[in-house]
Amino acid sequence: MPPKNSHVTFQDIADYTHFSKTTISRYFNAPQTLTPASRQRIEEALEALHYRGGSKVGRMLANGQTELIGILTPQFFFPFYSHLINDILDTFRDNHYKFIVFTCNGDEAVEQRAIAELTAYRVEGLLVLSHTLPSRKLADLKLPVVTIERENEYTCSVDSNNYSGAVSAAEKLLADGCEVLVHINSTEHPQAPGMKRIQGFQDTCRQHGVLARLFLHEYPQDFALTRARVEEVLAQVEAEFPDKKVGFFVSNDTFAQLLVNRLVREGRQIPAEFEVIGFDDSPVAQQTVVPVTAVRQNIRMMASTAMHLLERQIAAYRCGKDATPLQHAVIEPALIIRESTLPS
Amino acid sequence: MPPKNSHVTFQDIADYTHFSKTTISRYFNAPQTLTPASRQRIEEALEALHYRGGSKVGRMLANGQTELIGILTPQFFFPFYSHLINDILDTFRDNHYKFIVFTCNGDEAVEQRAIAELTAYRVEGLLVLSHTLPSRKLADLKLPVVTIERENEYTCSVDSNNYSGAVSAAEKLLADGCEVLVHINSTEHPQAPGMKRIQGFQDTCRQHGVLARLFLHEYPQDFALTRARVEEVLAQVEAEFPDKKVGFFVSNDTFAQLLVNRLVREGRQIPAEFEVIGFDDSPVAQQTVVPVTAVRQNIRMMASTAMHLLERQIAAYRCGKDATPLQHAVIEPALIIRESTLPS
DNA sequence: TTGTATGCGTTATCAG
DNA sequence: CTGATAACGCATACAA
């Protein structure tokens, strides 16, 4: 009988049943190879010993499979991150992988420590949403890695089709008769997938011969700054384009919401005088006074695609290969029409 | 020289330096006990072998300390959960604990599986935000556990002071001259800490001799339902209390936001005709057309308190005790005044 | 179908 | 200050 507060091991079960611990191991990993009678005997023992499951630690050491995946994310405050990670963690339902999660918050030192820990725990793969480390460094880890919506030159990746998202937004604004198109975005890493929104926006405007006005700025660190930024942009736009119907394509929903709030409080008509389209389609988009038309990222699809790409790599690694061909998945977003633009 | 794609072990370093692996272990765990010369020699070896850190798996098996903590949460869609978990994960900066996270989504089977996995990985403690399992069951695990904002009879816990939060909200509405106070809440588990908001609200109204009107309903599963619920409540209130200044105390910010949006779109004056106070103070509260006064949960404090309580228990367990006295921490929230009530 | 022997990478104990 | 040896809990190749 094992000590009270400790865990029941295969050895304990073996002693109780007078089998060897090998047989006990087989009971769990290949039950077919035991006689029904033996199985029965072991089952009784499990009952008697109050067996609550074996130790993965021993298993990990013995066969090297940890069933652990590491997630590196900046933080959970943007709905995009929390929703994506939510959907990734949900794959546990049909999948045996467990996730160790780190918030790195743009701090490279923390990210390095996190990676060191993850390799120490022998995680079988990495899902990287944070963008402080170049993909080159990630590739050096010689570990299955999938990066999501970030610079991805040397790693497998999943991104939204930011370009086509921007095109569909711009085309909607044009179709609704906007005379000037304004795009508000933040300047990030030049290779960030989100930068393609600028390209898609500009290309579409050029193609239609309509004026494209860009407002690029650094990502506002707090809410007051974002608010100030909205004021600046609006003042500028009203000065530059009085009496024109302006269509705003904004790089995130929070910004779109602030814009809508501001316009509504000034008594401007949406979508008659102004139209607004956001990006992400986070919950705020539908909760705004005037619900906001937005480019919806297919987050669920991004999560499952990322897991598939990672599993593929993990399988390859188990077969001894230490590099798989780079695959870059691009997920199509959808334009969700709400009241901040004309009905479709 | 170890094989190319494999990990460098203490044995490899020992072979290279002609020390024993015991000495290598000591180099990492008690460097003071080595001569500077030996340290030097080992450092050179680490360099030469491109050592990238040892295996926690071996360490786990040898000394039983996994430095792993399990988190069980319903999901990440409510800002309360994602923010709280964000702040918990952030403790990694000053702390050596790593977190395995599960989203259980109210599914008891999933939660059981998750717990089985977590014990299999020999996590040293559990942080439980999900509320499908009674605290009695959690206590049976004979593992350090802290429950957060949920039924907590048999476990250590951290809650917001829901009662005092409700009192301060009700008092603010009364001080602002509201003639009728309406509280909208959802019916949860009767022992859920959030239920104390109802109590605090009612007690305050009774004390001031003001009518307290309660709207309790099941938690709306989707956004359309929430919206419909807002309509019903508003219709009812306008029918029951025409020409009265009504103060709403609402159990979450999203609901408060919808209420505010609805009132604004109907041209009602806030805070002249109606006042609204939300709960949580999630980002939506300040992003609404009329920024919403809200009871702010001190999430950062809740996170750090939870970790402290858990560490205390873990320390006790390491000393062989298998039960620590139950501690229930209660964190004081703060009323954040915004434009949906009169200025303070 | 079952058992024996060995190894996984680290720490702990006890000697030297 | 350093080393030999035995654990930790499980899986696997090989033997019976």
Cα-Cα-Cα-Cα torsion A111, A114, A119, A122, nearest 10 degrees, comes to: -140
A303-308 contacts, C-beta under 8 A, 24 or more apart: A303/A84, A303/A87, A303/A88, A303/A90, A303/A91, A304/A87, A304/A91, A305/A158, A305/A329, A305/A331, A306/A88, A306/A127, A306/A146, A306/A148, A306/A158, A307/A88, A307/A91, A307/A95, A307/A97
Using the beta-carbon criterion (under 8 Å), do B76 and A57 form an inter-chain contact? Answer: no
Tell me if residue B151 falls in helix, strand or coil: coil
Tokens for A151? Answer: 């610079």
Q: pTM of the full predicted structure?
A: 0.95
pLDDT in tens, B110-122: 999 999 999 999 9
Selecting from A57, A100, A265 the residue whose C-beta is nearest the C-beta of B61 gives A57
* Rg for chain A, CA atoms, rounded: 27
In sequence order, the 6+-apart residues with CB closer than 8 A to the CB of B342 are B176, B271, B275
- In this predicted structure, what is the pLDDT of residue B5? 64
Query: Which of A47, A231, A64, A341 shows the shortest CA–CA distance to B57?
Result: A64
- Kindly give the residue spans of alpha helices, DSSP state H, lying in chain A: 10-17, 21-29, 36-49, 56-63, 79-90, 108-120, 135-140, 162-175, 196-208, 223-240, 253-265, 283-287, 299-318
The answer to whether the peptide bond before residue A134 is cis (omega within 30 degrees of 0) is no
Give me the residues of chain B with pLDDT under 70, please: 1-5
The distance of A75 to chain B (nearest Cα, Å) reads: 6
For residues A201 and A162, give the distance between their C-alpha atoms in angstroms, rounded to a whole number. 10
Alpha-carbon distances, residue A70 vs A147, B207, B296 (angstroms): 12, 53, 32
Q: Which residue is nearest to nucleotide C9 (CA to C1')?
A: B58
Tokens for B150? Answer: 């949920």
In sequence order, the 6+-apart residues with CB closer than 8 A to the CB of B296 are B280, B281, B333, B334, B335, B336
CA of B20 to C1' of D2 (A): 8
Using the beta-carbon criterion (under 8 Å), do A120 and B56 form an inter-chain contact? Answer: yes
- In this predicted structure, what is the pLDDT of residue A51? 96
B116 touches strand D (CB under 7 A): no
Give contacts of A93 with chain B, Cβ < 8 Å.
110
For residues B96 and B78, give the distance between their C-alpha atoms in angstroms, rounded to a whole number. 27
Give contacts of B55 with chain A, Cβ < 8 Å.
120, 122
Selecting from B77, B83, B257 the residue whose C-beta is nearest the C-beta of A86 gives B77
Tell me if residue B168 falls in helix, strand or coil: helix
Tell me if residue A92 falls in helix, strand or coil: helix
- In this predicted structure, what is the pLDDT of residue B4? 53
Q: Are A149 and A160 in contact (CB under 8 A)?
A: yes
Q: Are strands B293-296 and B334-336 parallel, antiparallel or unpaired?
A: antiparallel
Q: Is A261 exposed, middle or buried (0-12, 13-18, 19+ CB in 10 A)?
A: buried
B222-239 as b/e: b if 16+ CB within 10 A: eeeebbebbeebbeebee
Tokens for B281? Answer: 């103070």
Give contacts of B93 with chain A, Cβ < 8 Å.
110
pLDDT in tens, B43-91: 999 999 999 999 999 999 999 999 999 999 999 998 999 999 999 999 9
A37 touches strand C (CB under 7 A): yes
Task: At B234, give phi and psi (nearest 5°).
Answer: -65, -45
Q: How many CB atoms lie within 10 A of CB A47?
A: 9
Residue limits of CATH 3.40.50.2300 in chain A: 162-297
B180-204 as b/e: b if 16+ CB within 10 A: bbbbbbbebeeebbbbbbbebbbeb
A46 touches strand D (CB under 7 A): no
Give contacts of A7 with chain B, Cβ < 8 Å.
122
CA of A62 to C1' of C12 (A): 21
- In this predicted structure, what is the pLDDT of residue A2? 43
Q: Are A164 and A107 in contact (CB under 8 A)?
A: no
CA of B63 to C1' of D7 (A): 10
A63 touches strand D (CB under 7 A): yes
A162-297 CATH pick, 3.40.50.2300, 3.40.50.10580, 3.30.470.20, 3.30.70.360: 3.40.50.2300
For residues A205 and A193, give the distance between their C-alpha atoms in angstroms, rounded to a whole number. 20
The secondary structure element, H or E, covering residue A127 is strand A125-128
Task: At A69, give phi and psi (nearest 5°).
Answer: -125, 140
What is the crossing angle of helices B10-17 and B36-49, to 10°?
Answer: 120
- In this predicted structure, what is the pLDDT of residue A109? 97
Q: Are B135 and B192 in contact (CB under 8 A)?
A: no
Nucleotide whose C1' lies closest to the alpha carbon of residue A22: C3
Selecting from A55, A76, A257 the residue whose C-beta is nearest the C-beta of B76 gives A76
Chains A–B, number of C-beta pairs less than 8 Å apart: 140
Which residue type sits at A261? Answer: N
For residues A122 and A100, give the distance between their C-alpha atoms in angstroms, rounded to a whole number. 11
- Kindly give the residue spans of alpha helices, DSSP state H, lying in B129-268: 135-140, 162-175, 196-208, 223-240, 253-265
Using the beta-carbon criterion (under 8 Å), do A53 and B322 form an inter-chain contact? Answer: no
- In this predicted structure, what is the pLDDT of residue A188? 74
Q: Which residue is nearest to nucleotide D1 (CA to C1')?
A: B34
Tokens for A10? Answer: 């295969």
- In this predicted structure, what is the pLDDT of residue A1? 46
Query: Which of A195, A204, A197 shows the shortest CA–CA distance to A174?
Result: A204
CA of A34 to C1' of C3 (A): 13
For residues A253 and A338, give the distance between their C-alpha atoms in angstroms, rounded to a whole number. 13
- In this predicted structure, what is the pLDDT of residue A5? 65
Using the beta-carbon criterion (under 8 Å), do B117 and A98 form an inter-chain contact? Answer: yes
- Output the tens digit of pLDDT for each of chain A's 344 residues: 444 567 999 999 999 999 999 999 999 999 999 999 999 999 999 999 999 999 999 999 999 999 999 999 999 998 999 999 999 999 999 999 999 999 999 999 999 999 999 999 999 999 999 999 999 999 999 999 999 999 999 999 999 999 999 999 999 999 999 999 999 998 877 788 999 999 999 999 999 999 999 999 888 777 888 889 999 999 999 999 999 999 999 998 988 999 999 999 899 999 999 999 999 999 889 989 999 999 999 999 999 999 999 999 999 988 877 678 999 999 999 999 999 999 98
* Strand D nucleotides, any atom under 7 Å to a protein CB: 1-5, 7-13
B55 touches strand C (CB under 7 A): yes
Tell me if residue A191 falls in helix, strand or coil: coil
Give contacts of A259 with chain B, Cβ < 8 Å.
none
